Structures are given as structure tokens and as C-alpha cells.
């Protein structure tokens, strides 16, 4: 049976990781993500897992990758400057196709910024923070229950597509407390990475199967394989051939984009007849629920589209939204980031308006209602 609790978002994230099968955490305390590490320091030893507080953020990411290569589901958690420091190794995990989860509880930046204030200003960093070209998966919960379920989903996606997955909380959701019903573990969908079926002598560690994803043995399974951040062929060893780089980098994208319909999730509310659509995610979506209800009470046909999967962006759904709504308002706690992605996809089919805020405070329902009225 489900168990009802009053829980913080960061704590729900930690419990979701355990439910997904995570048994290793390496990281460094940083506000406002510290509670993820704090709870896992207690809970992981209780389930036979390992918690390591590393000397810095870079080491936390490196240890997370190393543990994942041994076959253990692994995660790290950070915020702001820590997410910046992890970027090179996130790129390494992408190139080496190491499944892991990075929890980023966003705060105001740049630099030290405002450590205890909410922001959603790492949206583009999650997509483009590491140098080079690669496919990216990033999810954004808007409630404490979603902190739990999306952490499970982040691990499932990481395991299925052999890629690092970023979980983009914000300080609002991370530190908020609300009721959560912890589901029965037996009913959870849990995905584990594919194992090779060929004997070690015939196995090529980076040869993809039909879904674009290679099977992944763990260190110690009897398969010898090389892991590198250099461009590599099917053997895992570096190759300078043009064809190798072309195929590899393309596949880092297509193993995700070919399955976008299976990856992308979203929520729609009051969009059937909406003339004004608000796109909001994370903590800002909670403001949107109230603002849209207020607008409806005043006779304004407004609705909400909430991308749960931030990357890959829901292009198909944004294009359909632009054909229906005359105006799209993109609400976000930054100087205006995701609005550019929406504008790129919509390409003039609807008017796109930015509702951006970056002064340490959430967007209020009154502020969002004013933007809706102005667009009406």
C-alpha cells in the first residue's frame, strides 16, 4: 500500500533514487541541494549502498561515473557553481555512454549568486553546458511527488539510453514540503541497462543494437573493455578516423531523438479552447495553475502547457500549440532562456511573449495574470 507522508522535495528526490535502485552517491554539500546528500548519507548504508562526500564537485562527478561503470546505479546532487564544475565530466559521461543522474537544485547565479533564492537559470546550461555535440535528457518536477517519480524516471532513462540525465529542480520545489504518497515498490517500473548476450571474445563494447544503444557489461562481469572520452570505435579504443567521429557523434544524438516520443512527457491544462497559452515548468508552473484559474474566472481563455521533459524539448507539442493559441507566454525564473527555444520551434506561427523574473523571488499569480491580461 502507498504510504502518505509530509516530505520535502529534496528528500523525495533521495527516496526516489533509492526506489530506482541507486546504491551510490558521491558529491559535495551545496545549498540548496544539500538535503539530497544529507538524507542519502543516512539511507544508503541502510540498504547496502555507499555514500561518499568528496573533496569537491568535480571529484563527486568523477566518482559517480566510476561507480556506474561497476554496474551500480549512481547519482550526484549539486547546484549553481557545482553544476558548472561538473560540466566536463558530464560530457565525458555522454561520450563514454555512462548512465548516471545529476540532480541540480537551481539557485540564483551567476557565480555564488543568491544561494538560498530560487531560479531556473540553468536550463540552457543543462543542454549546452559541456563542450561539443551530444544528445541530452533533462527533466523538471513541479511538486514533491514528482521529485520522487521523476527521479525514478531519470534513472530509467539513463539506464535505457546509456546517458547522463539531469534532474532540474529549483529551490522552490527542492525546499517545499507537501503530502506525498510513496508508492508500493512492487508497482514501480524499473529499467536496468542491457547486458551483452555475446561471449566476451565476440563482444564489441560500443557496437549499438537496433535501438542505437550498446549493451553495457559491468567491470567484473568478465568482459574487458576500454572507456575513454576520446572519439572511439566499436572496440572502445580511440580512433582518429573521420567516419568514426561522424557515426559516434550522430548516434549520441539519434539514440535519443529517435525515441523522442517515448522520452518526452508534458502536462496540459485548459488548452482545449485556449487563446493564450502559458508555458511554465518547475516551481513556476505552480504559479501558472493559480493564474490561469483567475484568468478563466474573468472570462479569459487561458491554458497551461507544462513541459516535464525540458530536453529534448517537446517540439511537436509546441508546434501544435502555436497553431491553436494566438499568444504563448513563456514564464521562467531567469533573464529569458527557454523562450528562445520556444521561438525557434514556433517560428512565427504564434506571438511569443517572455515573462522572465530574476530578482530572487518567484513569479506571483498576480504578475502572471497581468501578463495574460496584457496578451488578451
- Look at domain 267-375 and name its CATH class: alpha beta
pTM recorded for the entire structure:
0.97
Percentage of the residues of the chain whose pLDDT score is greater than 70: 100
pLDDT greater than 60 at residue 208: yes
DSSP 96: H
CATH architecture of 4-187: 3-Layer(aba) Sandwich (3.40)
pLDDT digit string, tens, across residues 132-168: 999 999 999 999 999 999 999 999 999 999 999 999 9
pLDDT digit string, tens, across residues 330-346: 999 999 999 999 999 99
Angle formed by the axes of helices 338-346 and 315-324, to 10°? Answer: 70
> What residues does each domain of the chain span?
4-187, 267-375
Q: How crowded is residue 337: how many other Cβ atoms within 10 Å of its Cβ?
A: 19
Grade residue 186 by pLDDT with cuts at 50, 70 and 90: confident
pLDDT digit string, tens, across residues 58-75: 999 999 999 999 999 999
Q: Is 137 in contact with 161 (CB distance < 8 Å)?
A: yes
pLDDT greater than 90 at residue 175: yes
**Side-chain half-sphere CA neighbours of 314 within 13 A:** 23
**Side-chain half-sphere CA neighbours of 316 within 13 A:** 10
Please tell me the distance from the alpha carbon of residue 104 to that of residue 139, in angstroms, as a whole number: 10
Please tell me the distance from the alpha carbon of residue 147 to that of residue 152, in angstroms, as a whole number: 9
CA 210 to chain centre: 25
Helix (H) or strand (E) holding 321: helix 315-324
b (16+ CB within 10 A) / e for 139-161: bbbbbbbbbbbbbbbbbbbbbbb
Amino acid at each position: 500500500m502507498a504510504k502518505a507522508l509530509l516530505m520535502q522535495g529534496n528528500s523525495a528526490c533521495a527516496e526516489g533514487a533509492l526506489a530506482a535502485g541507486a546504491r551510490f552517491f558521491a558529491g559535495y554539500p551545496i545549498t540548496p541541494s544539500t538535503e539530497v546528500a544529507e538524507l542519502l548519507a543516512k539511507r544508503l548504508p541502510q540498504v547496502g549502498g555507499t555514500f561518499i562526500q568528496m573533496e569537491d564537485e568535480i571529484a563527486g562527478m568523477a566518482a559517480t561515473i566510476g561507480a556506474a561503470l561497476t554496474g551500480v546505479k549512481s547519482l550526484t546532487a549539486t547546484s549553481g557553481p557545482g553544476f558548472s564544475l561538473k560540466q566536463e565530466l558530464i560530457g565525458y559521461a555522454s561520450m563514454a555512454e555512462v548512465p548516471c543522474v545529476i540532480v541540480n537544485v537551481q539557485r540564483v547565479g551567476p557565480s555564488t549568486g543568491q544561494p538560498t533564492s530560487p531560479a531556473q537559470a540553468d536550463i540552457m546550461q543543462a543542454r549546452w553546458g559541456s563542450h561539443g555535440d551530444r544528445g541530452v535528457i533533462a527533466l523538471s518536477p513541479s511538486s514533491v511527488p514528482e521529485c520522487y517519480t521523476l527521479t525514478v524516471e531519470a534513472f530509467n532513462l539513463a539506464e535505457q539510453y546509456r546517458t547522463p540525465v539531469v534532474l532540474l529542480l529549483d529551490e522552490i520545489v527542492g525546499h517545499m514540503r507537501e503530502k506525498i504518497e510513496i508508492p508500493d515498490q512492487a508497482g514501480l517500473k524499473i529499467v536496468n541497462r542491457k547486458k551483452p548476450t555475446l561471449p566476451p571474445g565476440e563482444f564489441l563494447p560500443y557496437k549499438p543494437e537496433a535501438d542505437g544503444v550498446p549493451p553495457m557489461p559491468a567491470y567484473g562481469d568478465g568482459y574487458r573493455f576500454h572507456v575513454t572520452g576520446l572519439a572511439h570505435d566499436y572496440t572502445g579504443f580511440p580512433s582518429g578516423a573521420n567516419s568514426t567521429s561522424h557515426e559516434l557523434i550522430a548516434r549520441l544524438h539519434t539514440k535519443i531523438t529517435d525515441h523522442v516520443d517515448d522520452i518526452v512527457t508534458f502536462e496540459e491544462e485548459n488548452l482545449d479552447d485556449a487563446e493564450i497559452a502559458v508555458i511554465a515548468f518547475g516551481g513556476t508552473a505552480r504559479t501558472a495553475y493559480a493564474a490561469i484559474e483567475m484568468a478563466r474566472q474573468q472570462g479569459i481563455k487561458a491554458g497551461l502547457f507544462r513541459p516535464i521533459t525540458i530536453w529534448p524539448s517537446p517540439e511537436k507539442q509546441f508546434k501544435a500549440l502555436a497553431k491553436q493559441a494566438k499568444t504563448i507566454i513563456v514564464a521562467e525564473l531567469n533573464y529569458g532562456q527557454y523562450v528562445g527555444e520556444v521561438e525557434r520551434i514556433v517560428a512565427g506561427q504564434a506571438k511569443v511573449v517572455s515573462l522572465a523574473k530574476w530578482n530572487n523571488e518567484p513569479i506571483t499569480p498576480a504578475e502572471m495574470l497581468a501578463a495574460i491580461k496584457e496578451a488578451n
